[in-house]
Amino acid sequence: MQHPSIMEPFYLTKEPYYQPVGAEAVLFKAAYESKRPVLIKGPTGCGKSRFVAYMAYHLKRPLITVACHEDLTASDLVGRYLLQGDETVWADGPLALAVKHGAICYLDEIVEARKDTTVVIHPLTDDRRILPIEKKGEIVPASDDFMLVISYNPGYQSVLKDLKQSTRQRFIALEFNYPPRATEIQIVAREAAISEEVARRLVGIGEKVRNLKNHGLEEGVSTRLLIYAGQLIGKGIPPHRACAAAIADAMTDDAEMHRTLMEIVRSFFE
């Protein structure tokens, strides 16, 4: 019987498409070589997760991603005992698997996890690089190839869900934002398989909508949503309807704001 904690490390076999916009790849590689954890902060849908996958591919390391949420417990990360038939067996959680296999462990939207859960990563973020497994009475040293990466959106979180200083000062931080206009046009055109002209109009919509942040919108439109709109257009959906579904309807339930967004759409797709 195979122990449930045994896992084949997940290596990316195809290079994820990512367009570097600065020194982020160089800094990430330097952090990896220095055995330092990385904090990536930036708005939703700006390419944080894609960047981590891109770096895992180029560093030739397996990648384990955890989408954090308010019910995430320390056991969900580290592991727990499970009943299997007549036996009680230990099953490693994703963090323990990454520590043992020398993987990159990516905790996405870390502030959504409970505060008592995030404490378990602290011993992995300093010179100790260890993972205590209290339920087993073990201390697991991290593989030399292990790397911890966390991300969050600082512009969207409430004060109660901000990242504690005692946690954030353990990380090398990379700040992300939406790509520059020319780069974003290239990304949208390629990912949505649409013409550069259509991509240019979608990016123009994105720029206008982002100006509404803090004026009725909590978040600007992400590059991801622009790609979704482009994919619908590429499937033959009329631009107004595609942008309504992928942008306006997705971003707000407020009737007045919805009308404002659709006016912006009409200014680019008459």
| Tokens 């990016």 belong to residue | 203
Question: How many Å is the Cα radius of gyration of the chain?
Answer: 21
Q: Positive or negative, the Cα torsion across 181, 182, 184, 189?
A: positive
Q: Are residues 242 and 269 in contact, defined by beta-carbon separation less than 8 angstroms?
A: no
- Lowest model confidence (mean pLDDT) among 3-7, 210-214, 230-234, 237-241: 3-7
> pLDDT tens-digit profile of 159-201?
446 777 888 889 999 999 999 999 999 999 999 999 999 999 9
pLDDT at 5: 40
Residue boundaries of the structural domains of the chain: 24-175, 181-268
The answer to whether domain 24-175 has CATH 3.40.50.2300 is no
Contacts of 193 (CB under 8 A, 6+ apart): 230, 231, 234
Task: Say whether pLDDT at 129 is over 50.
Answer: yes
Q: In whole numbers, what is the pLDDT of the chain averaged over residues?
A: 91
- Lowest model confidence (mean pLDDT) among 151-155, 232-236, 258-262: 151-155
| Mean pLDDT within 76-86 | 90
Q: How far apart are CA 71 and CA 66, in angstroms?
A: 13
Count CA atoms within 13 Å of residue 28 on its CB side: 25
Contacts of 122 (CB under 8 A, 6+ apart): 166, 167, 170
CA 40 to chain CA mean position, Å: 8
Structure tokens at 123: 């011993």
CA 251 to chain CA mean position, Å: 19
